[in-house]
Amino acid sequence: MERRNFLKQNMLATGALLSTSATWASSFEKNTIQENTPFKCHYAIHDGMFSQLAGPDFIEQIKFAHSMGFRAIEDNGMMDRTPAMQQKIGDTIAALGMRMGVFVISFDHWPLQVSLTNGKKEWRDKFVQYCKDAVEVAKRCNAKWMTVVPGNYERSLPIDIQTGNVIEALRPGVEILEKNNLVMVLEPLSDTPELFLRHSDQTYAICKAMNSPACKILFDMYHMQRNEGNIIHNINKCWNEIGYFQIGDNPGRNEPGTGEMNYKNIFKHIHDKGYQGIYGMEHGIAGKGKEGELALIQAYRNADSF
């Protein structure tokens, strides 16, 4: 059988959920088609990542990503989707044997205003209600992890008072999630100096104070490279409080191999330590169009080849 025909038939054999594979096949480069087996790690795509190759429908992008070896998704805006769409996404990934990564407990949409740092009851109550809502969302989409960002600095208060306010505000939300076997992952960020949570050691201390399996660190390696560097060393220091990783090379916040970070070594280190969780692909794409999306797939094949 000629190579081209063999590859096409192999794509068509993936079943009803992957019925659009024949259309996609004509767009692929030889290297990408050869390597559509599952990755070693659970890299999680997001909506729009494969919109050129699979179209604008997120469900079709999920099916396409599965055919290329990806076995997880994440969706920051899941709480803003309709319950019907949340269920549809959950049903799709369950049928494909994929995993759901984080969505954001979006009690305050970006840009964040002062929130859990100020000690005000209105913010605490708002956060608790969103944690309750998140439990129902998680049931529909098969989620376990929810991203939480405490908000901005309250400049009128000392840093330790703000830390105490954040811990006090998080505690009832953590209790809700723990009862439902869910996990809040606190994310230190680098977007602006106004953000309260910016470093891995700071987040580690809060997680230790919470003393719960339902409160862990979301270690976004792009943000941590910008804020503190020394990625592998700091992962080791915070290891027993890390619940989730996210990816993005720096500078540019695109796929591995487009910046200064050696993601092949980083992935190997995390994998060798026994991590079996999800790595969220929370970044852009360096290239344009279908070629850019194909290059992204190849970038992950390169970084995953440890």
Domains recognised in the chain with CATH numbers: 39-303 (3.20.20.150)
CA dihedral 188, 69, 135, 109 (to 10 degrees): 40
Backbone angle region of 27, left / alpha / beta, with phi > 0 → left and psi within -120 to 50 → alpha: alpha
Radius of gyration of the chain (CA): 20
- What percentage of the chain's residues is helix, strand, coil (to nearest 5)? 50, 10, 40
Strand residue runs (E) in 47-177: 72-73, 99-100, 103-104, 145-148
Going by C-alpha positions, the residue among 25, 108, 114 that lies closest to residue 68 is 25
DSSP state of 22: H
Angle between helices 200-210 and 159-179 (to 10 degrees): 60
- State how far the Cα of 41 lies from the Cα of 69, in Å rounded to an integer: 10
Q: What is the pLDDT along the chain (306 residues), one digit of tens a residue?
A: 343 343 344 434 344 454 444 344 444 544 444 457 999 999 999 999 999 999 999 999 999 999 999 999 999 999 999 999 999 999 999 999 999 999 999 877 766 777 899 999 999 999 999 999 999 999 999 999 999 999 999 999 999 999 999 999 999 999 999 999 999 999 999 999 999 999 999 999 999 999 999 999 999 999 999 999 999 999 999 999 999 999 999 999 999 999 999 999 999 999 999 999 999 999 999 999 999 999 999 999 999 999
